[in-house]
Structure 1
């Protein structure tokens, strides 16, 4: 296999660790083609069989030995100094994590690589995350064969990030963190320009849970609401009053927010219904408040529903805690990007209310997530994730590869 490093590029060094320069054009083109193929064939959580097979084939072509996770989707692949199949077992690995699943929404873009699967799209950038980790793995494997990889690295391609409570929990149970000392990841951000990353130490995403509530009563005629349980009013009061109650029972700095997304009740204007359903999300910026949230939400709904004589059932579906970037790892990512692209390539970012199951890994090992810029330079058009027209400036792939590669090499220097 040919070298993956441009022979004409300068080699930056930190201590004794070489940092490869710009990616060769052939590798850039291959990675863009790989990303476009993933984009054309999106697969939902726990259904990523084609994606897994594509990754496995490319890693095996590079001489690596990927292992498919239980369930048949997702995989892990270790890269050891010297390019051998096993390490001495002493040095902890740095894990580079990517999520590989897509979303159940239609792709509305008019591009040659538009999704070929109806009502399925990579509208959150997981195809970019996956390609960046793959590209970093190819570069690091090349360094290992040349005897200049000083530190073992694990590539982790995780399924089902979009499925609560996230495929990370199954991956952890399968042992993907065994031997891992630190873990890093990126998430596409259309507000950040391609070629840059957004970063912060501490919380960078929100906790996110799902809430489903069923209300029941005897029903009756709207002429005689005093003789029955007015479920329409009960549901309306829960929608408006429960968030207000929570705001007075949790420190406002915790950012606990219950937001309803669905309310179904009644079918006729003169009939008080017997059943109502509500569902929404509970988001929280603080991990301690997140842990207390189920009991607080249940108590608030109990009070309001009981006041209106409505029977209720609550299904509180635990999602993910907030991603809390460990400071040392966040500094590693910052230094890696600066070493590759200069001080202007890193910007501070705010904590978002989006959820990410990368947080589950951080319950076990230190780590950090960076926001990978995907906005075309100079483009000020407002864009967001989880939209059918979501797309990226594909130069972001090379930036992600360089970030991961430099982080793997700099992490060895800091041991």
Structure 2
């Protein structure tokens, strides 16, 4: 396989300017989740230039196949997300967003242009590998229920069914040229919590005539934190955070109701289900004990992202082959969430991180910020590495 590795590196270097140009186009024309209509048209046109036949899925998603020799032997799926965020860009660059209030602040323009680069490489090598590479260009990663769940519902994981799914994500914590990987449970599930506490408002000087919703809400917030710390297995990462509390009274007015929003995240699907039950019992029971009532709505988000140990072991070894051991970094679990997790719950998968910071420290802004940008070298590393990982997965025996 050494000749293929060298060939991929050469092709990745030769097309670097094209990938950068595609990324700049996508960055300048961002679209929000499930509204990626022009993005999908652009991606489809680029795939057709390569002789591929992209098919629509999940409204603004696309799927295409690159068949090598003996295409039925094995299939690997590669995923890129295409949506942007509702953020006003602050970067002063020629390719800055032309759509006010919308920005590729999470690197999905990098993921999409990178997968187009993978397609360009593998089309030229299709006589040198066996199996099928499924390209999945996905909408709506940033918005529940997540484009991945819809892609799966519409059959993206069949005809042909992949034996593994790979995805990459930008990572400004690492410099371009390095990648990060974590085997096993990597990213958390994420559920949204919406609580409404109802009581009896009135004058703050006469609490005996009221049912104090603010006091009930304060007790609920504290008790919920204790529930997570006391009921969760200490070996299972869990986070419960409340970020919004509206008690629209006054200095001397107790409101009739208090509204609370929060998030619950964990790395264990069984504990996730148990926690939902415990939270409902706590909210309803504590409020009732204090003479009030509480309605809790739990909006299920993305599940835990589990990097299959076998697939991730193969991917890590292939990364070392392509980049060298010094450029492959073992990273820690992360309590953020990603809808790639839906794929990982269905098919053995690996989701890894692509370094995007410059060696001099530039491009270090975090994702989801108005100054996020990437070092151009990442757009050479990303496509070449993913192409190599795909061929390594196709060559696997298990």
Please indicate the TM-score interval, normalised by the length of the shorter structure: over 0.9
In terms of mean alpha carbon deviation, does 209-218 or 93-102 score higher?
209-218
Q: What is the match of residue 45 of structure 1?
A: 33
In terms of mean alpha carbon deviation, does 238-247 or 179-188 score higher?
238-247
Unaligned runs of 5+ in 2: none
Any conservation in 1 of the 2:74–2:394 contact (CA below 8 Å)? Answer: no
C-alpha distance in structure 2 between counterparts of 1:302 and 1:230, whole Å: 15
Any conservation in 2 of the 1:18–1:409 contact (CA below 8 Å)? Answer: no
Any conservation in 2 of the 1:256–1:289 contact (CA below 8 Å)? Answer: no
Task: Give per-residue Cα distances to partners, 1:5-31, cap 9 Å, x unaligned.
Answer: xxxxxx8248xx875223355521111
1:138 to 96, 109, 120: 120
Q: Is 2:42 aligned against 1:54?
A: yes
TM-score (norm: length of structure 2): 0.95
Q: Is 2:66 aligned against 1:76?
A: no
Any conservation in 1 of the 2:365–2:373 contact (CA below 8 Å)? Answer: no
Alignment of 1:335-374 (within 5 A): 335-374=317-356
Q: What is the match of residue 334 of structure 1?
A: 316
Task: Give per-residue Cα distances to partners, 1:319-358, cap 9 Å, x unaligned.
Answer: 1111111112112221222222211110100000110111
Q: What is the match of residue 115 of structure 1?
A: 97
C-alpha distance in structure 2 between counterparts of 1:405 and 1:245, whole Å: 46
2:146 to 166, 180, 183: 166
Q: What is the match of residue 212 of structure 2?
A: 230
C-alpha distance in structure 2 between counterparts of 1:29 and 1:75, whole Å: 24
C-alpha distance in structure 2 between counterparts of 1:26 and 1:12, whole Å: 18
**C-alpha displacement of 1:291:** 2.9
C-alpha distance in structure 2 between counterparts of 1:296 and 1:108, whole Å: 43
C-alpha distance in structure 2 between counterparts of 1:189 and 1:364, whole Å: 25
Q: Is 2:74 aligned against 1:92?
A: yes
Q: What is the match of residue 87 of structure 2?
A: 105
C-alpha distance in structure 2 between counterparts of 1:414 and 1:26, whole Å: 28
**TM-align CA RMSD:** 1.8
Task: Give per-residue Cα distances to partners, 1:27-66, cap 9 Å, x unaligned.
Answer: 2111111111111111111100111011000000110001
Alignment of 1:241-260 (within 5 A): 241-260=223-242
**C-alpha displacement of 1:406:** 0.6
Q: Secondary structure of the residue that 1:320 maps to in structure 2?
A: coil
Any conservation in 2 of the 1:333–1:403 contact (CA below 8 Å)? Answer: no
C-alpha distance in structure 2 between counterparts of 1:254 and 1:318, whole Å: 19
2:18 to 17, 25, 30: 30
C-alpha distance in structure 2 between counterparts of 1:19 and 1:332, whole Å: 20
C-alpha distance in structure 2 between counterparts of 1:155 and 1:368, whole Å: 15
**C-alpha displacement of 1:196:** 0.9
**Residues paired across the two proteins, number:** 395
Alignment of 1:308-327 (within 5 A): 308-327=290-309
Q: What is the match of residue 5 of structure 1?
A: none
**C-alpha displacement of 1:168:** 0.7
Change (3 A) 1:188 1:74: same
Q: Is 2:243 aligned against 1:261?
A: yes
Any conservation in 1 of the 2:269–2:304 contact (CA below 8 Å)? Answer: yes
Q: Is 2:12 aligned against 1:12?
A: no
Task: Give per-residue Cα distances to partners, 1:301-328, cap 9 Å, x unaligned.
Answer: 2233223222221110111111111112
Q: Secondary structure of the residue that 1:319 maps to in structure 2?
A: coil
C-alpha distance in structure 2 between counterparts of 1:39 and 1:381, whole Å: 15
Change (3 A) 1:292 1:307: same
**C-alpha displacement of 1:285:** 2.1
Unaligned runs of 5+ in 1: 1-10
C-alpha distance in structure 1 between counterparts of 2:34 and 2:343, whole Å: 19
Q: What is the match of residue 368 of structure 2?
A: 386
C-alpha distance in structure 2 between counterparts of 1:24 and 1:238, whole Å: 55
Q: Is 2:135 aligned against 1:155?
A: yes
Task: Give per-residue Cα distances to partners, 1:79-117, cap 9 Å, x unaligned.
Answer: 1015xxxx65x3231000011111112112121111111
1:184 to 147, 166, 176: 166
C-alpha distance in structure 1 between counterparts of 2:100 and 2:366, whole Å: 21
TM-score (norm: length of structure 1): 0.91
In terms of mean alpha carbon deviation, does 283-292 or 230-239 score higher?
283-292
Any conservation in 1 of the 2:305–2:338 contact (CA below 8 Å)? Answer: yes
